[in-house]
Structure 1
Amino acid sequence: MTTETPHTGGALAGLGRFCYRRRRLVLLSWIVGVIAVTIVGFGFGAAPDNDFSGGNSDSAKAQKLIEKHFPEQQGDTLTLAIKAEQGIDDPAAREKIEKIIAGLDASPITGPVTSPYEDQNLVTQDRRIARTTIPLTDKNVAKAEVKPLVDTVKEASGDGVTLGLGGEKAEKAETPAQGPGESVGVLAAAVILFIAFGSLVAMGLPIVTALLAILGGIALMKLVGHVVPSPDFTVILAAMVGLGVGIDYALFIVTRYKDSLQDGDDPESATVKAITTAGKAVLFAGTTVVIALLGLVVMGQRLMTGVAVATSVIVLVTMIAAVTLLPAFLGFTGHKISSLRLPGRTSRRHEPDGVPSLERRTLAERWAGVVQRKPLIAAVLAGAALLMLAAPTLSMRLSLPDASVQPHDRSSYTSHKIISEGFGPGYGAPLIFATPVDSTDADLRPVVEAVSKTEGIAYVTQPRVSNDGQAATFMAFPTTGYQDEATADLVHELRDDVLPKAPGGAGIYLGGPNAATIDLAEDTSSRLPLMIAVVIVLSLLLLIVLVRSVTIALQAAVMNLLSIGAAYGVIVAIVQWGWLGPTLGFPTEMPVTTWVPVMMFPVLFGLSMDYEVFLISRVREEYERTGDTRIAVTRGLARTAKVITAAAAIMIAVFTTSLLGPDIAVKQGGLGMAVAVLIDATIIRMVLVPAVMELCGKANWWMPGRRAPKATSAAQPRVGEEARV
């Protein structure tokens, strides 16, 4: 057994040794710290902010005018939709409708409710469909207070009368909690780890480390929200990412620790070696993910910056836990890391030279050999497959979900369906025009007339001037719905053609929720290339520092772009085109949620770099031993295939559990990231990487001002060699 501790120098070696020897202190510090942060974070953390408006768009300017000069219009509202088969004047129907309206009016969270029996504008000509608006007295009313109203309306439907309660607050109130998704993800990860390690102890360490880090990370994220606010989906997204990377990072370190024990090291030496090799790779990989996430800042969108910062906090905490808390756990387990083994599992046979014999070549080695014999064909076929998968990305449309894309058993969808049938699909997509004026006598009739004559407009309301005589507003309802591409085209036509040509129309801003969604989507699309460029450049620089090769860094960037592009294409095909959509929990065809591709890119680029780091680090070790790229790739792939496959399987399991939840946008993001990780772990790592590295040969290791490394004469690594991983 080796008694000498390798890598006696260096900060990481010192950190690993300290955490191992002072394991009780480290563990106690983590437990006390997490408990304290959790109490403060969950007790005093910032509330989510879902206001994506802002900036310098027309919709933002219109909103500012309305907020300043029409304060009476700022409250949140609900919409009651009514459909009576025999007409709302049928005695039985009227009795039920009036009872519901009276109940809504009497609620402590609602203002006065106008009955459709009092205002004929709220009823269709055939008097089968009616609507009314229910003002809420508090802008910050809780979901729990709105939920009883939704349930009352939903339960009252029947006997020829269908009722639905819509509005943003109603949608959120009836949206179930995320459910068992994270628990299922943890269970799936546990099964994968048990199969990979064959031991309950080894399985438990990554999970416990990740869960403790995520708990503290989410609490800290809530505190950071006071400085940098983020929307409500951030917690779910950050928990998925944190769970995936947290377990993966611990998995890589535990795997290296077990290998060192099997190579004859004592537990302390194995811990130090794991931290100075896999731990170093974890720090580089985690830093890459954080840098990629912070690339969202260049989007210039306040809430996306909040998402980036919040998710980065989670990744940082899991990364720190991997190199501090995990070594402490390893100190407690020692040689018992393989205790409680899977029946029938045996330890890896130790080879004197550290290299499996020809007779025992793994499946990964044999596969690498197949690819390397025909590298050009393999690269062309893999590249073509990825480009085919990415092709639908060219038709991607962005929007934000509304009631029309919610599950059809929701009251908000029922309300949308009834309103669309009776008052047109554009009722849920109103266009709000606002402009500064000089007096209460301002004449907007020429503009209103020009808008009303525009093709695609159903009807226009009469203009209203604010009480202070400084602003005026009116509304127009399109003939198409919130998610229809024709509605976006109409907004552009009104802004670019109709308003500039109408007398007095040049200073009018077109806003409203629908226009704000369109502006956000277009602003996102225009800034996305800049964000991609920033993430790629920063990640490339970091990877060059790690692998000391410009060629490999460029290969990684191109391959990552291909895998993410393919994931985008799959999302478009499923969500926007409807292929397998209902099967996977998407009720209808819909545009891709605006923030999904923006968030997917930095997360996936960072995660892809994780796998690149762990694979190329091993390949480089083998190359510096042998000087032969083919052998290095074969052995590097063989040594990392199992752990990368397990890590990818964990990521896929965690991300796909989002499909069990109720949030349409989170489902899109989870599915897209799961697809990307699957592609990365199969087509990229198993085909493109060995094929392209075979084609490049010694050029793989090109670095300006430095000659390619030479092989050492011994098969074993030189002193300190593994510290460079």
Structure 2
Amino acid sequence: MFHRIGRTVVRHPVWTIVAWLIAAVAIIATAPSLPSNSDESSFLPSSYESIKAMDVQEKAFPAAFTPAAIVLYQRTDGAALTDADKSEITKITDELGKKKIDQVQKVVEGSASKDGKYQTALVQMNKETAGQPKQADAAKALRDDSTALAKGTDLKVQVGGQAAQALDQQDAGKTSDAVALVGSLLIIIITLAIIFRSPIIAIMPLVILTGVVFTVANALIADATKIFGLQANSSISALLIVVVLGVGTDYFLFLMFRYRERLRAGDEPKEAMINSVTRVGEAIASAAGAVIISFLALALSTLGFLTQLGPALAILVAVTLIAGLTLFPAICSLIPPRALFWPGKKWQQEPSDARFAAIGRVVGRRSGMVAIVSGLVMLLLALGTLGYKASYDLASGSIPKTKESMVVQDTLQKAYSAGAAEPTSVFLTSTSNKPLGSVDYTAYADKLKKVDGVADVSFDQKNDLNKDGTTANFTVTLKYESASDKAIAAVGDVRTVAHDNAPPGTEALVGGSSSIFKDINAAVNHDYKTVFPVAAILIMIILGLLLRSVVAPWYLIASVALGFGATLGATVLIFGRGDGLIFLLPIIMYLFVVAIGTDYNILMIARLREEAQEGREPREAASMALRHAGPTIGAAGFILAATFATLMLSGNAFLTQMGFAVAFGIIVAAFVMAMFFTPSLTALMGHAAWWPGHADRTREAAPGGPAPERELDESGHR
């Protein structure tokens, strides 16, 4: 199949390029705009208690609201607010409500801090558009208008809350995108220029990947988002840029290293490209298949963010794969080798590859020692996972502390009770739709107050009972910030007490931010038990089909799992000692490290099989595989790791953690696992690694098989 693809593309390069351009224009022109949602509650399905509580609140207390934005007032000199200041605050709050800002439905006065230095106003926005960009625009308008209204007074006005956090996250995301793009471009250009000494090869993948592949993939992602009703999130955009550049450059490198190798072996240019696609196409397609399946496994997640991220990345990698097998070879085949590799002059010379030849000899001769040492390195790093702790504060993780919304959040936590900014609500509802009647509200509130971690419980029968008398709302203020581990644990205890003490004929539901985080925690634990095993099983199936073996997939996936443990352990040791790692990180890390680690394993094991098919014994095949595939894996691993590492420059804690984790995982996958652990284990297992098939048998022995194409040996002879 790959021979046919290579032959068709190389013999008809112009038509291949034209077909790509026509398809790109059609896809981009018909794609809808990509929506965005940053509302944490949209992560969860309706079966979770926190979402059920939101539904109860909307039906029973339509006038009540969880503020989408909070306006924080204080004096510019930091002193306590005066009566004149309070009058100005009332005036500004009223004026903000009268401005009829789009999405803003109500602006009401909040409460004063205990020290008298702060006052708040609470902003209600349209619930139907929660988390969408238009609410971030409303937050910007609130900031501009409140600042203008406070001009000439002694007041300083700042706007925080979810809508303001979404605004600041957008701004931070633009910085992240720019840093990731510029950093990735520079790394790829410099590295490719050093490897191939050719400006054309250094620039070509970037032009194709950013100008065609990324644009087409983005349009297809928008189509999928609309068709399947997925949730989009602004924070994935920087990740998509890094993935398309990193993975796309990897596939380009796989092709170009093999193309140069075939030219050095004496193939005519077009035949060399056809042979390159034939030889490396299966490895690229299998590697991409493993990545795509890993990402699609996220569709089994219960979190909206991940169910969007998985298909988006799968689409991106699929488009990149098609480009790697068609567009890249078509364009390269139009350019004569002398022009393609210009001004470099050594592309025709077979290098000694002394470093990788030496590594190959060590792996071949001392396979047992290499397997033990490389395995121990990963195992020792994996011990760091014992200290893993999750953080559910996505806002703080994705927004710099200096942004206004974060300053407001920190101020509210210090000036008020830590949980006052986002209180927990306990809804006691009649199961028969009859008035609650004889319920002892005071006794119920007292039970809630006794829960460890609860600072206060308020209930006013006049204001906190709906007009039908069927639902009561108890406002529970926790002692801790809503996203903290202590708050999540406390809200679990609140749920237990609320449920156990609900009077006969009633049902208790606990809502609020801490309740949402509690449910997200449960959803993540579900995903660990579902997504991880499914992705691993599907990858093993791909490996089994590629290698015609039931033995190799087991130790290959085990080595990748060990690489994942080493990566998570190292990340915990560096970033996880304070508030912990962002809760999404292990899942994303698992998918990237497993999928991309499998990429390099596939490339190495495919080359090892190829060397064995040339008649070499297992240890010699491992040695030669390192010599030939080592430079490709080393260059690809360095570029991909470096592109992900650019995320660490974003100023975004989530992307910083992700950038380090994925970059480190790729380094482990390329330079420890694929270069040492996998080939040494395969050499030790010998022919048993390919059982029950005989994928390593010589091609001469294969009935009707093609004649072998012997590679150059170390002396330069075929």
TM-score (norm 1): 0.86
Q: Which amino acid aligns with 2:667?
A: L
What CA distance in whole angstroms lies between the structure 1 residues aligned with 2:151 and 2:454?
32
1:256 is displaced (CA, Å) by 1.4
- For residue 427 of structure 1, what is the aligned residue in structure 2? 420
- For residue 714 of structure 2, what is the aligned residue in structure 1? none
Cα shift readout 1:25-44 (whole Å, capped 9, x = no counterpart): 22122123223322332x54
Cα shift readout 1:177-222 (whole Å, capped 9, x = no counterpart): 1333223212211211111222122223332332221110011101
What CA distance in whole angstroms lies between the structure 1 residues aligned with 2:683 and 2:12?
46
What CA distance in whole angstroms lies between the structure 1 residues aligned with 2:33 and 2:330?
31
> Relative to structure 1, is the Cα distance of residues 159 and 590 closer, same or farther in structure 2, using a 3 angstrom cutoff?
farther
- For residue 166 of structure 1, what is the aligned residue in structure 2? 160
1:711 is displaced (CA, Å) by 8.2
How does 1:299-698 map onto structure 2 within 5 Å? 299-336=301-338, 338-342=340-344, 346-347=346-347, 349-350=349-350, 360=352, 362-404=354-396, 406-437=399-430, 438-442=433-437, 443=439, 444-462=441-459, 464-497=464-497, 499-501=499-501, 503=503, 507-577=507-577, 589-698=578-687
Moved more, 627-636 or 53-62: 53-62
What CA distance in whole angstroms lies between the structure 2 residues aligned with 1:210 and 1:699?
41
- For residue 220 of structure 1, what is the aligned residue in structure 2? 220
How does 1:96-107 map onto structure 2 within 5 Å? 97=89, 101=93, 104-107=96-99
What CA distance in whole angstroms lies between the structure 1 residues aligned with 2:698 and 2:306?
46
What CA distance in whole angstroms lies between the structure 1 residues aligned with 2:633 and 2:696?
27
Moved more, 60-69 or 98-107: 98-107
Q: Say whether residues 1:150 and 2:143 are aligned partners.
A: yes
CA contact (8 A) 2:209 2:248 kept: yes
Cα shift readout 1:510-548 (whole Å, capped 9, x = no counterpart): 121221112112221233133211111111111121123
Q: Say whether residues 1:247 and 2:278 are aligned partners.
A: no
Cα shift readout 1:33-78 (whole Å, capped 9, x = no counterpart): 223322332x544444741122422212212222333333457521
Structure 1, unaligned runs of 5 or more: 1-10, 117-121, 351-355, 578-588
- For residue 20 of structure 1, what is the aligned residue in structure 2? 10
1:451 is displaced (CA, Å) by 0.5
What CA distance in whole angstroms lies between the structure 1 residues aligned with 2:145 and 2:361?
66
What CA distance in whole angstroms lies between the structure 1 residues aligned with 2:413 and 2:97?
24
What CA distance in whole angstroms lies between the structure 2 residues aligned with 1:158 and 1:517?
41
CA contact (8 A) 1:13 1:273 kept: yes
Q: Say whether residues 1:53 and 2:47 are aligned partners.
A: no
- For residue 716 of structure 2, what is the aligned residue in structure 1? none
CA contact (8 A) 2:391 2:484 kept: no
- For residue 231 of structure 1, what is the aligned residue in structure 2? 232
CA contact (8 A) 2:382 2:567 kept: yes
Secondary structure, aligned partner of 1:286: helix
Q: Aligned-pair RMSD on alpha carbons? A: 3.0
Q: Which amino acid aligns with 1:681?
A: A
Q: Which amino acid aligns with 1:12?
A: F
Moved more, 254-263 or 704-713: 704-713
1:477 is displaced (CA, Å) by 1.1
What CA distance in whole angstroms lies between the structure 2 residues aligned with 1:131 and 1:564?
46
What CA distance in whole angstroms lies between the structure 1 residues aligned with 2:342 and 2:624?
30
Q: Which amino acid aligns with 1:266?
A: E
1:624 is displaced (CA, Å) by 2.0
What CA distance in whole angstroms lies between the structure 1 residues aligned with 2:274 and 2:695?
31
Q: Which amino acid aligns with 2:562?
A: L
> Relative to structure 1, is the Cα distance of residues 95 and 367 closer, same or farther in structure 2, using a 3 angstrom cutoff?
farther
CA contact (8 A) 1:560 1:608 kept: yes
Q: Which amino acid aligns with 1:495?
A: R
- For residue 281 of structure 1, what is the aligned residue in structure 2? 283
Secondary structure, aligned partner of 2:107: coil
What CA distance in whole angstroms lies between the structure 2 residues aligned with 1:698 and 1:483?
53
- For residue 707 of structure 2, what is the aligned residue in structure 1? 719
> Relative to structure 1, is the Cα distance of residues 281 and 495 closer, same or farther in structure 2, using a 3 angstrom cutoff?
same
What CA distance in whole angstroms lies between the structure 1 residues aligned with 2:659 and 2:424?
32
Secondary structure, aligned partner of 1:481: coil
Cα shift readout 1:618-643 (whole Å, capped 9, x = no counterpart): 11111122331111111101101111
Q: How many residues align?
A: 681
Secondary structure, aligned partner of 1:71: coil
Secondary structure, aligned partner of 1:627: coil
CA contact (8 A) 1:82 1:418 kept: no
Q: Which amino acid aligns with 1:390?
A: A
Q: 2:22 aligns with which of 32, 36, 45?
A: 32
Cα shift readout 1:8-32 (whole Å, capped 9, x = no counterpart): xxx3222222222322222122123
CA contact (8 A) 2:44 2:302 kept: no
What CA distance in whole angstroms lies between the structure 1 residues aligned with 2:520 and 2:115?
38
Structure 2, unaligned runs of 5 or more: 712-718
Q: Which amino acid aligns with 2:192?
A: L
What CA distance in whole angstroms lies between the structure 2 residues aligned with 1:199 and 1:53?
50
1:252 is displaced (CA, Å) by 0.9
What CA distance in whole angstroms lies between the structure 2 residues aligned with 1:48 and 1:413?
19
- For residue 183 of structure 2, what is the aligned residue in structure 1? 184
Secondary structure, aligned partner of 1:182: helix
Q: Which amino acid aligns with 1:462?
A: F
Q: Which amino acid aligns with 1:449?
A: D
Q: Say whether residues 1:71 and 2:62 are aligned partners.
A: yes
CA contact (8 A) 1:165 1:414 kept: no
What CA distance in whole angstroms lies between the structure 1 residues aligned with 2:608 and 2:664?
26
Q: Which amino acid aligns with 2:308?
A: G
Cα shift readout 1:397-451 (whole Å, capped 9, x = no counterpart): 3343255554221111221122112211112342221232244554333322210
> Relative to structure 1, is the Cα distance of residues 321 and 706 closer, same or farther in structure 2, using a 3 angstrom cutoff?
closer
What CA distance in whole angstroms lies between the structure 2 residues aligned with 1:708 and 1:12?
20
What CA distance in whole angstroms lies between the structure 1 residues aligned with 2:646 and 2:498?
47
Cα shift readout 1:214-262 (whole Å, capped 9, x = no counterpart): 1100111011101231331333333322222112112211221222222
CA contact (8 A) 2:232 2:305 kept: yes
What CA distance in whole angstroms lies between the structure 1 residues aligned with 2:152 and 2:571?
38
What CA distance in whole angstroms lies between the structure 1 residues aligned with 2:558 and 2:151?
55
> Relative to structure 1, is the Cα distance of residues 22 and 48 closer, same or farther in structure 2, using a 3 angstrom cutoff?
farther
Q: Which amino acid aligns with 1:543?
A: L
Q: Which amino acid aligns with 2:692?
A: P
CA contact (8 A) 1:123 1:130 kept: yes
CA contact (8 A) 1:190 1:204 kept: yes
Q: Which amino acid aligns with 2:227?
A: V
> Relative to structure 1, is the Cα distance of residues 361 and 273 closer, same or farther in structure 2, using a 3 angstrom cutoff?
closer
1:705 is displaced (CA, Å) by 5.9
1:87 is displaced (CA, Å) by 0.7
Q: Which amino acid aligns with 2:79?
A: Q
What CA distance in whole angstroms lies between the structure 2 residues aligned with 1:628 and 1:409?
61
Secondary structure, aligned partner of 2:473: strand
- For residue 193 of structure 1, what is the aligned residue in structure 2? 192
CA contact (8 A) 1:46 1:223 kept: no
1:379 is displaced (CA, Å) by 2.9
1:348 is displaced (CA, Å) by 5.1
1:81 is displaced (CA, Å) by 2.3
Q: Which amino acid aligns with 2:389?
A: R
Cα shift readout 1:534-571 (whole Å, capped 9, x = no counterpart): 11111111112112333322221011111112222233
